[in-house]
Amino acid sequence: MSGSTDTRLALDGGTPVRATMLDFSPPVIGEEEVESVVATLRSGWLTSGPRTAELEERFAARTGVPHAVATSSCTEALHLSLVAAGIGPGDEVVTSSFTWPATVNAILHTGATPVFADVDPDTLDLDPDAVQRAITPQTRALLPVHFAGGPCDMDALCRIAATHGLCVIEDAAHAVEADVRGRKVGAIGDFTCFSLYATKSLAGGEGGIVTTSSDESAERLRLLRAHGITRDPWKRARTRTLGHYDVVEPGFKANLADLQAAAALPKLDRLEAFHAHRAELVARYDDGLAPLAGIEPIGRPDYGRHAHHLYVVRIDPDLAGADRDAYAAALIAENVATGLHFLPVHTLTWYREHLSVPPLPVTERAGDQVLSLPLAAAHTDADIDDALAAVRKVHAACSP
Ligand SMILES: Cc1ncc(COP(=O)(O)O)c(C=O)c1O
């Protein structure tokens, strides 16, 4: 679709690089997904039932853990994991501010206090030394975020957790395909939380999954996601009894519907193929951006496998001739969508007004400079070439 020779930016009245918008993260919707959802509709059972159970079993098997518990979102996966870990008022949870507000809200909803440690300047994952410094006698858990799909150094973080007797709850919303020194993300911490949100590699529309090796934690999570009620509706529907139920603690309403599990299930078989395709697109971006001063992809950890969920660059305004916001505005005018991952949570209004957070210089600087370029398994080489053509065009117009 690229090929316009008009060097004037579309923002200034030039011809856009693309005639139509290049979406940031379009989902893959194949015949498999359509058939799977239609079969579930035809089955007459829409809410949590056999498809959710199948997703749980197969996700646990691929991760190599005894339990996967499906939830209504990754946010709820995090929240229920914190509750199941016994985190509550008076407790502190050390996490990253370089994340989606979901991570921090999950902590706040337990009544605990989020304590932010700064991130590594290269990968933007939690810096284990900063985590160590953030620990106080009130710290009960670590909540690392595998940013963009780049795994945190879980060996270092688990060592810190073991020394201080802390629970490890991982935010793996971006990291289904990641590993750390050969160990799959999902089989490392006490609880690992994944997302089935529309843009994620295992998209179901909305949804989440917690993996855990603990029988006791899995049982608690299953109770917590369904009001603390001791019988699940699918099991009850198959018994020919009235089904007296009991509530053993006031839980939440956070179950995954079969319709969503049905949309996600066919992708389980194709996760590796999609990951390989995204890895090729990432290499294409790396090559194409290398000559452009001031536009650099964030670093990728050398101790593990990257899930390639996001392609995030840093824009240094001194070298690139304009700042991140100017690049984003120019790219959207060229019909290339971009993403902002992330604005540091502690700089947003509510958190600024209610939490007292010491300066986090690496996080704050990254928040000013990061820009995510389109990356999804549904993209073609030609799509990435269009994105690159647009970035080159904007760079040529802006660079000093
Ligand atoms: C790092 C991170 N954590 C948690 C979430 C929350 O996921 P969900 O939308 O499934 O609740 C997101 C959502 O994009 C995310 O990016």
10-27+271-398 homologous superfamily:
Aspartate Aminotransferase, domain 1 (3.90.1150.10)
Q: pLDDT value at position 1?
A: 47
Q: Is the CB of 208 under 6 A from ligand 1?
A: yes
Q: Kindly report, residue by residue over 21-53, the tens digit of the pLDDT.
A: 999 999 999 999 999 999 999 999 999 999 999
Map out the domains of the chain as residue ranges: 10-27+271-398, 31-268
* pLDDT band of 3, cuts 50, 70, 90: low
Q: Is 99 in the pocket of ligand 1 (CB under 6 A)?
A: yes
The rounded mean pLDDT for the chain is 96
Q: Which residue's CA is the nearest one to ligand 1's atom 16? A: 100
Q: Report the topology of domain 31-268.
A: Aspartate Aminotransferase; domain 2 (3.40.640)
Query: How far is Cα 373 from Cα 244, in angstroms, rounded to an integer?
Result: 53
Candidate list 184, 200, 267, 393, residue with the active-site label = 200
What's the average model confidence in pLDDT over 283-310? 98
Percent of the chain at pLDDT > 70 equals 98
State residue 216's pLDDT score. Answer: 97
Q: Burial, 17: exposed, middle or buried (Cβ in 10 Å; 0-12, 13-18, 19+)?
A: buried
Q: What is the pLDDT of residue 125?
A: 98
Q: How far apart are CA 63 and CA 212, in angstroms?
A: 10
Predicted TM-score of the model (pTM): 0.97
The per-residue pLDDT for 25 is: 96
Quick one: pLDDT at residue 4? 60
Q: For this structure, is 200 an active site residue?
A: yes
How close is the Cα of 69 to the center of ligand 1, in Å?
A: 17
Please state the atom number of ligand 1 nearest to the C-alpha of residue 75. Answer: 11
The mean pLDDT value for 226-234 works out to 82
Domains 10-27+271-398 and 31-268 share a fold: no
pLDDT at 112 over 50: yes
Q: Which has more pLDDT, 244 or 339?
A: 339
Q: Tell how far the Cα of 90 is from the centroid of ligand 1, in angstroms.
A: 25
Cα dihedral 82, 86, 92, 98 in deg (nearest 10): -10
133 forms bridges with which residues in the sheet?
none
